Structure 1
């Protein structure tokens, strides 16, 4: 197969309702026609998100560690955030999130990969960007809640890839990001 890709499909939606309104995202229930019948599916209705694979001149990737309550871990992640500002383009959101979460900026940006996080349970798409030409942000950001004690580390990209492949770091977005960056030959890989 030479042009392997996901295929859009739009079934007839018979009914759709918000069954839960949350602080960050909602849950919807859709009834739709599929095949010879109708199906009902509930899913998290998500705003979408961005993440940044920031790589410095020494081939190190910027990782952050913060507490994530659903998994009861302080997991290692990429700087990331929601597309929750009306009309904000994903690249601008990625630039904002890198500065807000790690107090750094980047001179060079390129799209790395986009992925649906859990297509059977939510409609979130996350856009990952590669950021290089790293420098300190002009001002530091105040952080609250789970971000108040973010730990920031610069790790050789190859070590981050090893940690993913050995199962020591299991964050899906981090995994996709560092593997895609290594595949592109970033950081001397």
Structure 2
């Protein structure tokens, strides 16, 4: 596919929506709508053979979801380790002595340009929470690995970033 033209349809501090006219490989025209968002960070807080997860209400799906810590800065903050550490402290109050990059996942490549850097956090210590106003009702809990895997099988964990991050964790050989 080749872009022919692009126009921004909407923008706020978290995302923008653009509409691209494209040309398919056979020359026929097409239209593609893309949500552009900055690169996010996902943190796997790993301790005592299990994981710290957060649960929050996901408005677009109208239900709660257990997930690994994840987020992004408003605007154009720097992705990477600084963002991962900030999200970990904000959502769980945890601090990591070690933060190892495991890879990157595309969040929903048919809809958005957003990608997410995945980090393994170990050597955890507790500190104060610093949740944003929008994170009201967020819960946190530690799950043994077997409990986490059962949650995945039973549909209690259905977030694509969390599932992709867990795959990267498994492929990493659990570098802890």
**TM class by smaller structure:** 0.7 to 0.9
Q: Which residues of structure 1 form unaligned runs of 5+?
A: 1-10
Q: 1:6 matched to which residue of 2?
A: none
Shift in Å at residue 79 of structure 1?
0.9
Please report how far the alpha carbon of residue 91 of structure 1 lies from its aligned counterpart in structure 2 after TM superposition: 1.4
CA contact (8 A) 1:55 1:187 kept: no
Task: List gaps (5 residues or longer) in structure 2.
Answer: none
Mark the CA change 1:120 to 1:37 in structure 2 (over 3 Å): closer, same or farther: same
Query: 2:167 aligns to what?
Result: 179
Aligned to 1:53: 44
Runs of 4+ in 1 over 6 A off after TM superposition: none
Deviations 1:106-129 (A, max 9, x none): 011111131111111111111111
TM normalised by structure 2 equals 0.88
Number of corresponding residues = 175
Deviations 1:41-76 (A, max 9, x none): 1111121211100101x1120100111111111111
Match status 1:34 vs 2:24:
yes
State whether residues 57 and 64 of structure 2, in contact with CA within 8 Å, keep that contact through their aligned partners in structure 1. Answer: yes
Is residue 20–residue 31 contact of structure 2 (8 Å, CA) maintained in 1? yes
Mapped contact 2:46–2:52 kept (Cα < 8 A): yes
2:138 is matched with which residue?
150
Once the 2 structures are TM-superposed, how far is the Cα of residue 187 of structure 1 from its aligned partner?
Answer: 8.9
Deviations 1:88-110, CA, capped at 9 Å, x for gaps: 13111011100111111101111
DSSP-derived class of the 2:117 partner: strand
- When normalised by structure 1's length, the TM-score is 0.82
User: SS state of the match for residue 23, structure 2?
Assistant: strand
Output the CA distance in 2 between the equivalents of 1:102 and 1:162: 22
CA change 1:187–1:86 in 2 (3 A) is: closer
CA distance in 2, matches of 1:99, 1:45: 26
**RMSD between aligned residues:** 2.1
